[in-house]
């Protein structure tokens, strides 16, 4: 599921300046992380990060079929688990190596979008996930097990969703495909909250195993008594995640003018995030230039669309055009989009399974 849905940023959605800035930013952050990881891991564990990258690929082979959606299966994204087990610096270096290999060997995510991908799937989930985990956990030696489980679960949900939320922002700033930021953000965060939920569940199970088998790895003393995972811890974690999910969903669903449109306002995109170019002279000039030089010489934009926002145009545009921008409907569209995406994935999974499984083999 993660492989299908996880959004590797693509080259084509980025403009050159955004690609350059994110590449430089990611390079700087990875350089810092590399230095810190060399210090924290020590030279004798140098091969660890590379081999751990291979581990993440292998761990993605291990799927488990989801309860409510037969046919789809969830597996590990890996960044947050690595951050919890190895520390954020080593996790960031490992994720960078993984993303470069995914880009070059599997063509997953563009070459110039590598900076964005390292930020979205490496730096943000690792740092944020690790911070959430440590804050919830407190002092590991004295913390009860349930705090570790809740911390891991919350770290996955928040880390993965926050990383995914960067995608629409980067695409919006680039402005190649003008999908309204609010809706795109709502769909991405909604889908990735669910992905984070699955990832959190697997991370949770891995920690439960490691607590029992090698407590040193999860920061416990070797002689410390470790009980099995209690039912209370599971229930508390599920309740916590459900509350978190409900909170975010209700935030999206609130009809008040939400914070999602801020970037459109900030970039003077019109009143409510209209999808047409802003009425600035520079853009008009660029578009005139573009119309002159393009092969489609006949292509022009209607002056009303080019120079005015819908409010300025005084209802000149058809009402159908303003449909996606109705306040409050945008958040509903986000929810519906999430459901539609999940439905599409489910359909795809069913089709693929029917195609690849021999009759009688599928349980």
With CB under 8 A as the contact rule, the residue among 135, 299, 326, 343 that binds other proteins is 299
Minimal distance in Å, beta carbon 141 to other proteins? Answer: 21
308 binds other proteins (CB under 8 A): no
| Binding positions for other proteins, 95-134, rule CB under 8 A | 96-98, 100-101, 103-108, 110-112
353 binds other proteins (CB under 8 A): no
Minimal distance in Å, beta carbon 258 to other proteins? Answer: 18
Compute the distance between CA of residue 347 and CA of residue 354 in angstroms, rounded to an integer.
11
Widest Cα–Cα separation across the chain: 78
262 binds other proteins (CB under 8 A): no
With CB under 8 A as the contact rule, the residue among 281, 293, 355, 358 that binds other proteins is 293
With CB under 8 A as the contact rule, the residue among 57, 247, 268, 312 that binds other proteins is 57
Minimal distance in Å, beta carbon 55 to other proteins? Answer: 4
- 142/150 with CB nearer other proteins: 150
- Looking from the CA of 263 toward its CB, the CA atoms found within 13 Å total 18
Compute the distance between CA of residue 90 and CA of residue 34 in angstroms, rounded to an integer.
7
Minimal distance in Å, beta carbon 10 to other proteins? Answer: 6
165 binds other proteins (CB under 8 A): no
Cβ contact 192:160 at 8 Å: yes
Q: Of 238, 181, 195, 165, which Cα lies nearest the Cα of 345?
A: 195
Helical pair 48-59 and 79-86, crossing angle rounded to 10 deg: 140
Give the other-Cβ count within 10 Å of 118's Cβ: 27
| Binding positions for other proteins, 215-254, rule CB under 8 A | 217
Helix H, strand E, coil C: the string for 60-83 is CCCCEECCCCCCCEECCCCHHHHH
- Applying CB under 8 A, the span of 116-124, 175-183, 244-252, 261-269 interacting with other proteins comes to 175-183
Compute the distance between CA of residue 208 and CA of residue 218 in angstroms, rounded to an integer.
10
Cβ contact 254:331 at 8 Å: yes
Compute the distance between CA of residue 85 and CA of residue 94 in angstroms, rounded to an integer.
12
**Where would I find the beta strands (DSSP E) of the chain?**
64-65, 73-74
- Applying CB under 8 A, the span of 136-144, 244-252, 294-302, 307-315 interacting with other proteins comes to 294-302
- 135/286 with CB nearer other proteins: 286
61 binds other proteins (CB under 8 A): yes
Q: Of 74, 71, 76, 75, which Cα lies nearest the Cα of 349?
A: 71
- Which residues, in sequence order, are bridge partners of residue 74? 64
Minimal distance in Å, beta carbon 285 to other proteins? Answer: 12
Size of the site for other proteins (CB under 8 A): 100
Compute the distance between CA of residue 74 and CA of residue 6 in angstroms, rounded to an integer.
11
- Applying CB under 8 A, the span of 45-53, 128-136, 137-145, 189-197 interacting with other proteins comes to 45-53
With CB under 8 A as the contact rule, the residue among 40, 65, 316, 357 that binds other proteins is 65
285 binds other proteins (CB under 8 A): no
| Binding positions for other proteins, 185-204, rule CB under 8 A | 201-202, 204
272 binds other proteins (CB under 8 A): no
Compute the distance between CA of residue 347 and CA of residue 245 in angstroms, rounded to an integer.
24
Q: What 3-state class would DSSP assign to 348?
A: helix
| Binding positions for other proteins, 324-343, rule CB under 8 A | 324
Minimal distance in Å, beta carbon 111 to other proteins? Answer: 5
Minimal distance in Å, beta carbon 352 to other proteins? Answer: 11
């Amino acid at each position: 599921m993660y492989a299908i849905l996880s959004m590797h940023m693509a080259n084509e959605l980025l403009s050159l300046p955004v690609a350059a800035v994110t590449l430089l930013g990611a390079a700087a952050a990875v350089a810092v992380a590399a230095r810190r990881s060399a210090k924290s891991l020590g030279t004798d564990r140098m091969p660890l990060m590379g081999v751990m990258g291979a581990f993440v690929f292998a761990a993605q082979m291990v799927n488990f079929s989801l309860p409510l959606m037969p046919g789809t299966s969830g597996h590990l994204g890996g960044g947050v688990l690595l951050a919890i087990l190895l520390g954020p610096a080593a996790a960031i270096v490992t994720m960078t190596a993984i993303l470069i290999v995914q880009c070059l060997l599997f063509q997953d995510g563009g070459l110039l979008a590598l900076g964005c991908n390292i930020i979205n799937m490496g730096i943000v989930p690792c740092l944020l996930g690790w911070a959430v985990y440590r804050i919830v956990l407190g002092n590991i030696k004295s913390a009860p097990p349930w705090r570790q489980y809740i911390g891991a679960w919350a770290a996955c949900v928040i880390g993965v969703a926050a990383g995914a939320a960067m995608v629409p922002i980067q695409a919006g700033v680039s402005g190649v495909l003008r999908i309204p930021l609010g809706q795109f953000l709502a769909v991405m965060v909604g889908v990735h909250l669910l992905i984070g939920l699955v990832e959190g569940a697997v991370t949770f199970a891995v920690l439960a195993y490691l607590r029992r088998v090698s407590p040193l790895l999860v920061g416990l003393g070797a002689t410390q008594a470790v009980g099995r995972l209690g039912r209370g811890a599971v229930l508390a974690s599920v309740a916590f995640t459900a509350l978190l999910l409900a909170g975010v969903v209700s935030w999206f669903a609130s009809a008040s003018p939400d914070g999602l449109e801020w970037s459109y306002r900030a970039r003077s995109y019109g009143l409510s995030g209209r999808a047409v170019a802003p009425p600035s002279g520079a853009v008009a000039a660029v578009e005139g230039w573009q119309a002159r030089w393009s092969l489609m010489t006949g292509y022009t934009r209607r002056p009303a669309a080019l120079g005015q926002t819908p409010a300025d145009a005084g209802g000149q545009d058809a009402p159908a055009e303003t449909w996606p921008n109705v306040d409050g409907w945008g958040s509903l569209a986000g929810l519906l989009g999430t459901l539609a995406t999940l439905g599409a994935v489910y359909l795809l999974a069913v089709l693929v399974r029917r195609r690849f499984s021999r009759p009688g083999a599928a349980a």
